[in-house]
Amino acid sequence: MRLRRQELAEFTGERVIPGEVEADLWNEHFARYVFASRLSRAKRVLDAGCGQGYGTAELARVASSVTGVDISGDAIDYARSHYQAPNVRFLRASCAALPFQSGTFDLIVTFEVIEHLRDWKGLLLEARRLLAPGGQFVVSTPNKDCYAGSRGSAGPNPYHEHEFTYDEFEQELRKVFPHFSLFCQDRVEGFAFKPAKVVSAAEVRVEGAAGEPRDAHFLIAVCAAGPQTGAPTFVYIPASGGLLKEREQQIDLLNGQIAELIRDRDSVLAAFRLQKEEMEAQSSGYEAKIAELEQDNRKKNEWGLDISRQHVEAVNALHEAERTVEERTTWALGLDTQIRELEAQLSLVKASRWIKLGHRLGVGPRLRDE
């Protein structure tokens, strides 16, 4: 149980947690229960989609009995432990299939629930079934046209299954309830004149024409099977409704956040400048290194070209030497052939009888080996 309550204390945007949301959001939701409590006096009331039960407890202040119903077991556990009262009970159930007999309740309220349901038509039909003769059904929902604009870049609410425009809301209610009064819920700024230390009845004066429903932040309908009388303007001023003070606090908070953002920005800019200087220094070192490498490459290229030229010259010299050797070899071979021919001729001369006859007669040339 402790774990569940701790989880409930974290506001996700789906449910309003007492004490865990800012004052404006809390007042916005709680005001709807104050609005409905005027209709709950001495009645059997159903709070469909009661959440953590704070609104159920508000209705129980004047109702004869109030039953709070929610699909979340965690929410029901929280409500049972925080809002116990003799005329209050909490049940876990779906708002589109409620476990009660027809005509059980004099007043049914469901605030900011219908847009969360895929079977939202089932909720309307269940409310009509459960209303006793003369009973009333009070239902609220965000105005899609206004709500979409206020969320801006945040985009659609991930917890909403279906959002209503004013025209669609009116048309769907008319299909189930023949009589209903539509109200616009908006935040207003005003001035309160309260007697010091005295509690008295309040008089309210609201300037301006009737509200434009298509511009309203929230739409609230009081529905019934039979005709209803009166639809007065209702103004709720919460204890924390000092708008100027709240705005000053919000401005102070925003100023603090802005100052923090400026500090963060300056810190990021300083880090960026330092990083830029380091990169520029590294870039200068890289450029010098690149220039050194390029110069070294040029020297190696020149050396390579010189070696290549020397290689070509050496090859040419080798080819020239080979040609010289071939020529000299050819000359030597030719000379050897001439010597052999001369030796053959000399042998013939030596063997000639005329040479021999001349030797005997003492005439003619003398050969060296003779």
Same structural domain for residues 29 and 163? Answer: yes
Task: Decide if 249 is inside a domain.
Answer: no
Count of domains forming the chain: 2
In this structure, what token pair is assigned to residue 174? 């008319």
Strand stretches in 143-261, DSSP E: 179-185, 218-224
How many whole angstroms separate alpha carbon 329 and alpha carbon 327?
A: 5
pLDDT band at 5 (very low <50, low <70, confident <90, very high): very low
Same structural domain for residues 173 and 319? Answer: no
Query: Is the pLDDT at 9 greater than 60, yes or no?
Result: no
Same structural domain for residues 280 and 223? Answer: no
Give the pLDDT score at 264.
85
Task: Decide if 295 is inside a domain.
Answer: yes
Task: Decide if 93 is inside a domain.
Answer: yes
Same structural domain for residues 275 and 204? Answer: no
pLDDT band at 207 (very low <50, low <70, confident <90, very high): confident
CA 273 to chain centre: 28
How many whole angstroms separate alpha carbon 216 and alpha carbon 358?
A: 160
C-alpha dihedral, 154 to 158 to 162 to 168, nearest 10°: -10
In this structure, what token pair is assigned to residue 364? 């003619």
Least Cα distance to 144 among 164, 170, 168 occurs for 164
Same structural domain for residues 220 and 270? Answer: no
Least Cα distance to 225 among 158, 259, 174, 188 occurs for 174
Task: Decide if 246 is inside a domain.
Answer: no
- Burial letters for 240-263: b for 16+ Cβ neighbours within 10 Å, e otherwise? ebeeeeeeeeeeeeeeeeeeeeee
Same structural domain for residues 168 and 307? Answer: no
What pLDDT digit, counting tens, does each position of 87-117 carry?
999 999 999 999 999 999 999 999 999 999 9
This model's pTM is above 0.75: no
Least Cα distance to 63 among 84, 86, 81, 80 occurs for 86
Same structural domain for residues 105 and 178? Answer: yes
Assign 107 to helix, strand or coil.
strand
Task: Decide if 197 is inside a domain.
Answer: yes
Same structural domain for residues 201 and 283? Answer: no
Q: What is the CATH number of the domain that holds 110?
A: 3.40.50.150
Q: Which of 221, 237, 253 is the last residue of a domain?
A: 237
Same structural domain for residues 232 and 272? Answer: no
Q: Report the interhelical angle of 166-176 vs 120-130 (nearest 10°).
A: 40
Task: Decide if 34 is inside a domain.
Answer: yes
Same structural domain for residues 284 and 189? Answer: no
Task: Decide if 368 is inside a domain.
Answer: no
Using the Cα atoms of residue 250, residue 251, residue 252 and residue 257 in order, give the sign of their dihedral. positive
* pLDDT, the chain, mean: 83
The range of the structural domain enclosing residue 207 comes to 2-237
Give the pLDDT score at 138.
97
Q: Cβ neighbours of residue 351 under 8 Å, at least 6 residues apart?
A: none
Q: How many residues does the chain have?
A: 370
Most confident of 58-67, 213-222, 286-295: 58-67
Same structural domain for residues 208 and 161? Answer: yes
Task: Decide if 251 is inside a domain.
Answer: no
Same structural domain for residues 233 and 271? Answer: no
